[in-house]
């Protein structure tokens, strides 16, 4: 019977003919806590701030809130944080039991700054947030928080009265409740005996009674689904009852908000009035739909608001199922003089713990968020190259044949991937004994070509007493537990599976140890890891995931759900670091993620389909992730499900070559689609797209170095760099890589042209293929053919490339650079070059790196050292300098660091104006000057 069940379940996942079955996933009306919270209407809040309870310390203040309807008390804590941020925490004053507070996501306790009380009366208190004009106002009745700058309200909390806190309580049919009810009844009888007491005494008695009622924590009538909820055939026992929370935020003057990934939806978040809110609940959604707010594989509860004056962010630190309602009030609507955006967050459990990032610039918000959760990890250079994947390459001979195919067709690649079929019966950390009998020989063959492999290691473990991994987890008690004891089990790829409790630090340490070379048999230093199905995916669970009443120690799964994938990737990355003695950077791809996942590796957009809409959607999905810290994002090139036409496949390679994570992947049941299987013409087009990626690897690596150092996104919307240009605010079919490359991929079938918006009044942009110059602040009509990838370099920038493309990035390590100097309207440009060994931590531990500043002004190109205390040498040199928008010089002179001068050969083309300097021959790490006279 069990085998029949698993075959039926697996057949649903293996089939590629059907789209998502939406009935498998809840809407807000099917989620009891969301339904209850959404039933609340905006209005006057029942909460009053008890200003007399205010306590102010050097780091924060606290005061109590009271719900006037049920007399339940809350505790408000408010912190002024370094870097123009404010933290607001709200918890029950005296909870029946502790509420979950998210650990491990913040990199450290945020640094606080003193709060100064500047005014107080019976109705409000006013605090300074630094400077003369930044203030925080706490209004008492109804409770409300306003953050102001001068006369302007930047953001209001609970202005719509939607703060809600379902207090923890005793169930009414329990013995404990019956005891408290009996005590209450006896008290009423005692009161009747002494009814002749004075009115003042009676009032005092009533006050005592109110306090005792509050202590009983059972003020409200129970509603359906508070203590048990059923979805389809799955029951959620809810042993602790209702515990949801809600808070509303109003942002005056704002009509554009972004973030809260992951959703297959537009970059600008849509108005959810009249429909479901956006849902944040990590789920394995089979063939997800486009343009809707359904939850997907990851959840980052960060929302960014933007207008021409200011960018701000809201970070809702809660790992439970969360819904986010967005309402845009446009200018003139309902007699409003200015636009406003209202945002309401609803979570099933935990506390309110929210960070308000006040910008004011987009770069400030990125820095603020990075100071809380960390920056994008600095990946190995090779992981920024091209990855070839399929479910599944059949055996070692298949791997070898694919590897040879790339060489025979002169297409570079760095990583080949193995999906679940490479294991011994879906037992992770093992190899199929027939098809992959000699894994080290296979890996060595790749290493000889300076290539690498990724194998999948999922977090569901086959229940098999003969499987060492399972036996050790059992013996150590490291599995997630059922609500009533015993290991939690569910169905996934191996059949009956256990789920390690990655919230347990001891479990994570053990898991990391399994990646050691003497533990993961057959592994070598060029083997890296892919964590899939880590939402976690449970084929026979509610919504294809884990039951909410499963236990992680003393916490229910409902409290920690969105953290599971975060912890899986954390432990895996730590294992790859430990196996090298802490010397080498890991590469780990994850499907599920949370705030802070950027510290551990890359993500991808999951199981997309070979459809033009999915190609288009890959852009806003990755842009949204970049805005909330996760820069290392990509989509399965060609689409995971279904079969792409040759046109779609080519266009997807052309798009993917300009997205941070560049991997082709395909479903088991699709025809093979290696790049050379679609005819020589299409092979040539794909080859050219991949080669463009490899030539730009120095620029990609620099961008990830900067992202790691500063928290700025690698792939970014145009409005990030042009925050006052309203025309950029909703653009999602083009994007920037760093500041200096603008990409408008062709994502429409049979397209003969695209319209690209070139931002920046007074700026110029250069077509990177033709070198033609275009003015900024215009919509440019661009005719396209199948070979076209519209890409523009910003005037005023210098970008370094390696144009000698070889079979892998490591083979290009010592190859020379070509510098592309794109002059602005004043004839100036600047850029950077970053070089290190590409794979270790020595850039941090031993300061072994090169970081150069390249600048062009007054007809002089200068290379100077940005890090004089670092030490690293490179064999790479500068073989060519191409200056776009230049005038023809009479002579070009090279001046080296020791003062030697020599002439440099050059060529000049007038239309377009391009000056090419040939073989300056200087080392890429040296100081030098090129003078044009």
Are the beta carbons of 283 and 326 closer than 8 angstroms? no
In whole angstroms, give the CA distance from residue 610 to residue 560. Answer: 34
Q: Is 146 a catalytic residue?
A: no
Are the beta carbons of 914 and 886 closer than 8 angstroms? yes
Q: Is 484 left (phi over 0), alpha (psi -120 to 50) or beta?
A: alpha
Instruction: Give how far Cα 300 sits from Cα of 131, 249, 419, 625, 676, Å.
Output: 31, 18, 26, 8, 38
Which one, of 719, 700, 809, lies nearest residue 757 by Cα?
Answer: 719
Handedness of CA 727, 731, 735, 738 (dihedral sign): positive
Tell the residue number behind the tokens 């009115």, with chain if given. 199
Q: Tokens at residue 156, please?
A: 């209001």
Q: How many CA atoms lie within 13 A of 868 on its CB side?
A: 1
Q: Pairing state of beta strands 452-456 and 415-418?
A: parallel
Cis ω before 912 (30° cut-off from 0): yes
In whole angstroms, give the CA distance from residue 929 to residue 914. Answer: 19
Q: Is 332 left (phi over 0), alpha (psi -120 to 50) or beta?
A: left
Q: Is 532 a catalytic residue?
A: yes
For the purposes of burial, counting CB atoms within 10 Å of the CB of 788, is it exposed (0-12), middle (13-18) or buried (19 or more)?
buried
Collapse the DSSP code of 755 into the 3-class scheme (helix H, G, I; strand E, B; otherwise coil) and give the result. strand
Tell the residue number behind the tokens 């048999």, with chain if given. 521
In whole angstroms, give the CA distance from residue 440 to residue 455. Answer: 13
The active-site residue out of 276, 419, 532, 824 is 532
Instruction: Give how far Cα 233 sits from Cα of 12, 236, 282, 770, 922, Å.
Output: 17, 10, 20, 61, 70
Q: Tokens at residue 490, please?
A: 């569910």
Instruction: Give how far Cα 336 sits from Cα of 142, 195, 294, 311, Å.
Output: 22, 54, 31, 21
Q: How far apart are the first and last CA of the chain?
A: 85
Are the beta carbons of 120 and 109 closer than 8 angstroms? no
Tell the residue number behind the tokens 């810290």, with chain if given. 629
**Rounded to the nearest 5°, which phi and psi values hold at 834?**
-125, 130
Number of H helices, E strands in the chain: 17, 53
Collapse the DSSP code of 457 into the 3-class scheme (helix H, G, I; strand E, B; otherwise coil) and give the result. coil
**Stretch (H or E) spanning 557:** helix 557-560
Strand extents, DSSP E, 7-149: 47-56, 60-67, 73-81, 85-92, 116-120, 124-128, 134-139, 144-149
Q: Pairing state of beta strands 741-743 and 302-306?
A: unpaired
Task: Name residues whose C-beta falls within 8 Å of residue 662's C-beta, 6 or more positions apart in sequence.
Answer: 384, 385, 386, 387, 634, 637, 656, 693
Which one, of 541, 526, 575, lies nearest residue 232 by Cα?
Answer: 541
In whole angstroms, give the CA distance from residue 176 to residue 240. Answer: 13
Q: Tokens at residue 357, please?
A: 């990032």
Total residues found in the chain within this entry: 933
In whole angstroms, give the CA distance from residue 382 to residue 638. Answer: 21
Q: Tokens at residue 311, please?
A: 């960018």
The active-site residue out of 607, 725, 733, 836 is 607
Tell the residue number behind the tokens 């102010």, with chain if given. 56
**Stretch (H or E) spanning 694:** helix 680-695
Q: Pairing state of beta strands 386-388 and 415-418?
A: parallel
Q: Which residues are catalytic?
A: 532, 607
């Amino acid at each position: 019977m069990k085998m029949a069940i698993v075959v039926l379940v697996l057949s649903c996942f293996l089939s590629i003919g059907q789209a998502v079955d939406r009935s498998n996933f809840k809407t807000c009306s099917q989620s009891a806590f969301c339904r209850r919270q959404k039933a609340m209407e905006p209005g006057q809040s029942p909460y009053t701030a008890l200003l007399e309870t205010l306590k102010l310390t050097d780091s924060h203040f606290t005061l109590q809130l009271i719900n006037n309807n049920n007399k339940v008390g809350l505790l408000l804590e408010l912190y002024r944080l370094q870097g123009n941020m404010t933290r607001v925490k709200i918890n029950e004053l005296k909870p029946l039991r502790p509420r979950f507070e998210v650990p491990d996501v913040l990199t450290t306790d945020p640094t606080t700054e003193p709060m100064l009380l500047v005014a107080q009366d019976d109705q409000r208190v006013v605090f300074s947030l630094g400077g003369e004009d930044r203030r925080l106002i706490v209004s008492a009745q109804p409770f409300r928080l306003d953050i102001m700058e001068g006369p302007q309200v930047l953001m209001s909390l609970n202005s719509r009265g939607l703060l809600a806190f379902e207090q923890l309580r005793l169930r009414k049919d329990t013995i404990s409740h019956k005891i408290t009810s009996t005590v209450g009844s006896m008290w009423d009888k005692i009161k009747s005996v002494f009814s002749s007491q004075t009115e003042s005494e009676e009032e005092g008695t009533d006050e005592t009674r109110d306090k005792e009622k509050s202590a009983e924590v059972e003020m409200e009538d129970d509603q359906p689904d508070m203590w048990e909820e059923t979805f389809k055939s799955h029951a959620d026992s809810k042993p602790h009852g209702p515990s949801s929370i809600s808070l509303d935020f109003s942002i005056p003057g704002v009509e554009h908000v972004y973030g809260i990934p992951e959703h297959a939806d537009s970059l600008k978040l849509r108005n959810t009035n009249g429909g479901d809110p956006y849902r944040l609940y990590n789920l394995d959604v089979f063939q997800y739909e486009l343009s809707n707010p359904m939850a997907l594989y990851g959840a980052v509860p960060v929302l960014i608001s933007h207008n021409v004056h200011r960018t701000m962010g809201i970070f809702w630190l809660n790992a439970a199922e969360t819904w986010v309602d967005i309402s845009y009030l446009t200018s003139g609507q309902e007699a409003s003089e200015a636009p406003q955006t209202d945002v309401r967050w609803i979570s099933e459990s935990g506390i309110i713990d929210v960070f308000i990032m006040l910008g004011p610039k987009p770069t400030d918000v990125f820095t603020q968020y990075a100071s809380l959760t960390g920056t994008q990890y600095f990946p190995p250079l090779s992981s920024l190259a091209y990855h070839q994947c399929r479910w599944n390459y059949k055996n070692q001979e298949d791997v070898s044949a694919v590897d040879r195919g790339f060489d025979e067709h002169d297409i570079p690649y760095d990583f080949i991937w193995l999906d679940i079929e490479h294991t011994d019966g879906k037992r992770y950390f093992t190899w199929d004994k027939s098809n992959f009998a000699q894994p080290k020989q296979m890996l060595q063959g790749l290493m000889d070509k300076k290539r690498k492999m990724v194998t999948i290691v999922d977090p569901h473990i086959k229940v098999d007493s003969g499987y060492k991994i399972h036996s050790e987890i059992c013996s150590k008690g490291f599995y997630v537990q059922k609500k009533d004891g015993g290991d939690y089990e569910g169905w996934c790829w191996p059949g009956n599976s256990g789920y390690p409790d990655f919230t347990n630090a001891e479990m994570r340490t053990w898991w990391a140890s399994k990646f050691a070379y003497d533990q993961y048999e057959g592994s070598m230093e060029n083997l890296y890891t892919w964590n899939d199905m880590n939402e976690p995916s449970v084929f026979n669970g509610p919504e294809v995931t884990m039951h909410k009443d499963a236990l992680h120690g003393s916490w229910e799964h409902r409290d920690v759900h969105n953290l599971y994938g975060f912890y899986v990737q954390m432990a895996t990355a730590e294992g790859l670091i430990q196996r090298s003695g802490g010397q080498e950077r890991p590469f780990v791809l994850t499907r599920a993620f949370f705030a802070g996942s950027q510290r551990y590796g890359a993500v991808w957009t999951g199981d997309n389909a070979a459809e033009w809409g999915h190609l288009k959607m890959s852009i806003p999905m990755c842009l949204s992730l970049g805005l909330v810290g996760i820069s290392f994002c990509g989509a399965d090139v060609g689409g995971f499900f279904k079969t792409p036409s040759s046109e779609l496949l080519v266009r997807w390679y052309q798009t993917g070559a300009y997205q941070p994570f560049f991997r082709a992947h395909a479903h088991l049941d699709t025809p093979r689609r290696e790049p050379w299987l679609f005819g020589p013409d299409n092979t040539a087009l794909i080859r050219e797209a991949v080669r463009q990626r490899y030539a730009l690897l120095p620029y990609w690596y620099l961008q990830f170095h900067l992202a790691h150092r500063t928290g700025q996104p690698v792939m970014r919307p145009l409005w990030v760099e042009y925050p006052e240009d309203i025309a950029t605010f909703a653009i999602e079919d083009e994007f920037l890589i760093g500041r200096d490359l603008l990409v408008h991929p062709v994502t429409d079938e049979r397209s003969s042209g695209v319209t690209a918006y070139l931002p920046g009044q007074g700026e110029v942009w250069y077509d990177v293929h033709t070198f033609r110059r275009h003015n900024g602040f215009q919509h440019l009509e661009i005719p396209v053919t199948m070979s076209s990838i519209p890409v523009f370099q910003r005037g005023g920038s210098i970008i370094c490339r390696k144009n000698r493309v070889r079979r892998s990035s490591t083979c290009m390590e010592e190859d020379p650079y070509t510098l592309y100097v794109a002059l602005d309207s004043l004839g100036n440009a600047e850029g950077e070059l970053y070089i290190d060994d590409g794979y270790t931590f020595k850039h941090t531990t031993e300061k072994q790196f090169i970081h150069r500043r390249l600048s062009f002004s007054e007809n002089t190109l200068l290379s100077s050292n940005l890090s004089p205390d670092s030490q690293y040498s490179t064999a790479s040199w500068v073989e060519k300098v191409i200056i776009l928008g230049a005038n023809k010089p009479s002579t070009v002179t090279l001046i080296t660091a020791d003062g030697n001068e020599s002439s440099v050969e050059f060529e000049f083309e007038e239309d377009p104006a391009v000056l090419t300097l040939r073989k300056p021959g200087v080392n890429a790490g040296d100081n030098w000057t090129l003078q044009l006279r």
